[in-house]
């Protein structure tokens, strides 16, 4: 791979990590969904570049799925969902923004150190893509742990899955049928989670998990 192609791949994968950190920084649901849509656009660009560099045409379809489903369909559906649920307020967090960002930076550093050490025999591009992919996965997990709102935890779950796609495409891709299966599974999970959110809202008049814990303690 020539230096220009490597630099572009490196820039796009690094941008995905940066957008993941921006997700952690958001304190309003609408802004969180917009940044998630942007992350999906960056992922689609990264996968498209990998398709071009690796000469793997099936990855273009993977990029198209990411662009249509994650950058358009799911964010639009989530925007409509939060409007119907009436939850435009700020996102409740277990940690303040500064502490969360420091934890996120520590996870990125840990991912790079661990992956570069255990993949010493792999190609340079695959090693860096895996390091960035693990960073995105851990940042998605961090969001799921530190956010108390169910909608923001759904975004953390789908951001985590974006990291898995980056890992798969950077490591010469996975079988296409697996890619379709993963995309379909995420869509089904999103639909099921949406149904549960509406049911939770109908039963308890909130989707704030801390409020649900408080209610359970009062009933206990």
DSSP, residue by residue, 87-102: --SBPPBSS-HHHHHH
By C-alpha distance, which of 162, 129, 120, 111 is closest to 1?
A: 129
Q: What is the pLDDT of residue 61?
A: 83
Residues of the chain with pLDDT under 70: 1, 87-92, 171-220
Q: What is the pLDDT of residue 187?
A: 63
Q: Which residues contact 28 (CB under 8 A, 6 or more apart)?
A: 88, 89, 90, 91
- Residue 68 is classified by DSSP as I
pLDDT per residue as tens digits for the range 123-136? 777 788 888 988 99
Backbone angles phi, psi at 208, to 5 degrees: -80, 120
Can you read off the two tokens belonging to residue 179? 């890619």
Which helix (H) or strand (E) is 180 found in, with range? helix 176-204
In contact, 170 and 164? CB cutoff 8 Å: no
- Residue 90 is classified by DSSP as B
- Residue 86 is classified by DSSP as T
In contact, 35 and 74? CB cutoff 8 Å: no
Q: What is the pLDDT of residue 38?
A: 95
pTM, two decimals, is: 0.81
């Amino acid at each position: 791979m020539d230096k220009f192609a490597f630099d572009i791949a490196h820039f796009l994968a690094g941008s995905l990590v940066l957008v993941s950190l921006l997700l952690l920084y958001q304190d309003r649901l609408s802004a969180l969904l917009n940044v998630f849509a942007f992350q999906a656009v960056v992922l689609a660009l990264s996968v498209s570049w990998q398709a071009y560099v690796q000469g793997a045409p099936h990855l273009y379809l993977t990029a198209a799925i990411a662009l249509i489903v994650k950058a358009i369909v799911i964010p639009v559906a989530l925007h409509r969902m939060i409007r119907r649920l009436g939850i435009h307020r700020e996102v409740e967090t277990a940690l303040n923004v500064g502490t969360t960002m420091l934890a996120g930076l520590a996870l990125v550093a840990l991912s790079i150190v661990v992956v570069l050490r255990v993949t010493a025999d792999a190609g340079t591009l695959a090693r860096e893509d895996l390091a960035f992919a693990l960073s995105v996965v851990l940042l998605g997990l961090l969001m799921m742990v530190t956010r108390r709102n169910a909608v923001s935890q759904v975004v953390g779950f789908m951001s985590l899955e974006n990291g898995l796609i980056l890992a798969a495409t950077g490591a010469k891709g996975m079988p296409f049928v697996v890619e379709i299966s993963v995309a379909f599974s995420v869509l089904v999970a999103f639909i099921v989670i949406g149904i549960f959110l509406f049911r939770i809202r109908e039963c308890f008049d909130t989707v704030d998990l801390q409020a649900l814990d408080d209610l359970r303690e009062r009933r206990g």
